[in-house]
Amino acid sequence: MQSDGDPQLESPRRIRTSIPTRDFTIPMVGSPMRRILVPVDGSRQSLDALGHALETFPDDEIVVLHALNFVEVVASESSANQARERANEIFREVRTLADEYDHTVETETTEGDPGRAIVAYAADRDIDQIVIGSTGRTGLDRLLLGSVAELVARRAPVPVTIVR
């Protein structure tokens, strides 16, 4: 029994905190196939990002997305047709690169602002990770329009790898 003058000792209390985090788990061998999104615009950087994805994720499904800029699509019918033909040219390059890695890829197009379209596609289509080139646009376009990769990295609901 304690006397009135003795300080009462308390058992130490555990403090529990929780910090919201994203799940950045690296899959183990034998884990289910993941869906990797690789946006392409035909630039060297976007094709380098595809090469990185093909090398890094050889057993996963790779979806290659080309965003048709809304301005190109609504400007005129001939402008829209040119944009779609450019997408087909890009996809021919994509398939050639995928063949070098003995990998097949799924190709998709979407319309709208490229950064927002990529983020929306990833959110709506069960994508597990995005692999994107660091720059596509150059010069004044990049200064005025901002970096698509930066927008995607900030807003994507999944992990993003930016390839230089």
At 58, is the pLDDT very low, low, confident or very high (cuts 50, 70, 90)? very high
In eight-state DSSP terms, residue 158 is: S
- Two tokens at 121? 């596609």
In a domain, 82, yes or no: yes
Residue 21 inside a domain? The answer is no
Q: Is residue 8 part of a domain?
A: no
Lowest mean pLDDT among 98-112, 126-140, 148-162: 126-140
31-34 contacts at long range (C-beta below 8 A, 24 or more positions apart): 33/59, 33/60, 33/61, 34/60, 34/61, 34/128, 34/129
pTM of the shown model: 0.75
Number of domains within the chain: 1
pLDDT surpasses 90 at 10: no
In this predicted model, what pLDDT tens digit does every residue of 111-149 receive, in sequence order? 889 999 999 999 999 999 999 998 755 555 555 445 899
Please indicate, yes or no, if residue 149 is contained in any of the structural domains. Answer: yes
The verdict on residue 28 lying in a domain is no
Domain harbouring 50, CATH code: 3.40.50.620
Q: What are the helix (H) ranges across 38-147? A: 44-56, 70-75, 77-100, 114-124, 139-145
* Domain that includes residue 127, residue range: 35-163
